[in-house]
Amino acid sequence: MSRFFHSGPAPRAFGLPRAGGGVLANRSGLSRGLRVGLFGGSFNPAHEGHLHVARTARVRLGLDRVMWLVSPGNPLKPARDADSFEARLASARTVARGPSMIVSDFEGRAGHNRTVQTLRALRRRYPGVRFVWIMGSDNLAEFHRWRGWTEILGLVPAAVIARPGSLLNSRFAPAARRFARYRRPESQARLLPFTAPPAWVYLRAPLNPASSTAIRRERAGDPAAGS
């Protein structure tokens, strides 16, 4: 097993293509045929709710790996509220426990802050890897605000994991309605990595209440943090 996939408490980040077209050596161990979940986010900070989403997707979809893609910046969130990229990367390394969890600094190295850019690059770099995009239902509720969101669902299949506070909003989200005919039943979740996009599945699971917003408020001494 590559040293970039190990079961220690702090998975290492690894680089992929460099910005400007140069390519780092393939140290990731991603080979043709592997089923790999792509779990992107600010992780500001990463928490047990993120790990719950990643583990649920790994088990229910039968994935070989889940790659945590730490974003250098979220265009939909104020930059002033974000920890540094390095701090968020370290946070993800601490939380993403397990031999199947890997943390990537690809978006920071490539200068990407748009998911559609990242997916294009990864599909070029790793032909034959069966990628699946992973997101919580809270992200599905506002997915239509992402740049290139329809292209994203045309590039890779997607798995949406239930998250507290967004179950109703995500059910009636513009993306859910637009792609309703491409939704697969939960019973077919393990077939998703082998399904040509657009295809997506909504996975219900025990809800984990952890929230990055609540953690930041608590860290700042906000009395509303526990509400």
Interval 51-88: pLDDT, tens: 999 999 999 999 999 999 999 876 556 555 668 999 99
- Which is more confident, 47 or 73? 47
CATH number at residue 83: 3.40.50.620
Let me know if residue 7 belongs to a domain. no
Let me know if residue 126 belongs to a domain. yes
Structural tokens at position 158: 């997607």
Structural tokens at position 202: 């909504």
Let me know if residue 185 belongs to a domain. yes
How far from 22 is each of 15, 25, 68, 116, 121, CA to CA, in Å? 12, 10, 22, 19, 12
Which residues, listed in sequence order, are joined to residue 104 by a DSSP beta bridge?
A: 14, 69
Let me know if residue 1 belongs to a domain. no
Let me know if residue 226 belongs to a domain. no
Domain that holds residue 155: 13-221
Let me know if residue 5 belongs to a domain. no
Is the predicted pLDDT of residue 158 greater than 60, yes or no? yes
- Model confidence pLDDT, tens digit, residues 165-178: 767 778 889 999 99
Q: Check residue 22 and give its pLDDT.
A: 29
| Single pTM value for the model | 0.79
Number of domains in the chain: 1
Closest listed residue to residue 38, CA positions, set 150, 152, 143, 149: 152
- Model confidence pLDDT, tens digit, residues 85-133: 999 999 999 999 888 999 999 998 888 878 999 999 999 999 999 999 9
Query: Is 14 in a helix, a strand, or coil?
Result: strand
Let me know if residue 6 belongs to a domain. no
- Model confidence pLDDT, tens digit, residues 25-44: 344 578 999 999 999 999 99
Per-residue burial over 2-41, b if 16 or more Cβ lie within 10 Å, else e, is eebbeeeeebebbbbbeeeeeeeeeebebeeebbbbbbbb
